[in-house]
Structure 1
């Protein structure tokens, strides 16, 4: 739970507060929770506690954050939030060199338990390449790359 709390603080700090950018495909967003992803949530009145519950249920738990070593858990969690949890799972498996089937099972978890600095860097570079495929990379790419550096710096040596 301590890793989730720390990862949440890092990610929500990057996601910030309320935004309604007409160019953002997520639409209205608060604490990184988008109207597109959560059409039945009152985004403007979303509390930080409500956002934390959504993050834990739909992102941290979905990528088995408690079973991943730090800082990889934080990296994968942030990817799930920003790029979608199905993509985060595939990127993790690709970076770890295991079959990329989108299921974080015993093989993926075993490889993750052996992950070190090299695999962590591979995960982040794999994320960068995924960002480059996005149709709106020209508009948001620099910010996404900055996000990678912020996540890496904020999670360094903690956990």
Structure 2
């Protein structure tokens, strides 16, 4: 008896958008590898800057985890510590437009977006497109509270 191998149809397309910094990329990738290993009909599109792809592009990953890049429009990871506030501001203001353009170019419809909690603007993108958004927090709960206060001050324009 001859058996024909049929390529599985992707039923779930996950787009993962990590915060582009050390300590955020690896936890998101680990989660995506776990998801992709559970079922072969899950496709994960892992979004990184071109710079980050040069750092992690050769790392082993399942075949159903693909990299997609957005341009290097934020300060380099290699110098961000010199002005962390400007780096944070750039991630909050400059990444949304290229991320939306990337979503427009994907061949398969997006089932869900997994985002690093710090990139709160992704929730708005998901809402406008009727795509559910799941949040991944990669750090301690106390830092979560601190970041939420910083973001609230940034959004309101006040400094306390």
TM-score range for the pair, normalised by the shorter chain length: 0.3 to 0.5
The structure showing larger relative contact order (alpha-carbon pairs under 8 Å, at least 6 residues apart) is 2
State TM-score, norm by structure 2.
0.35
Structure with greater strand share of residues = 2
TM-score (norm 1): 0.35
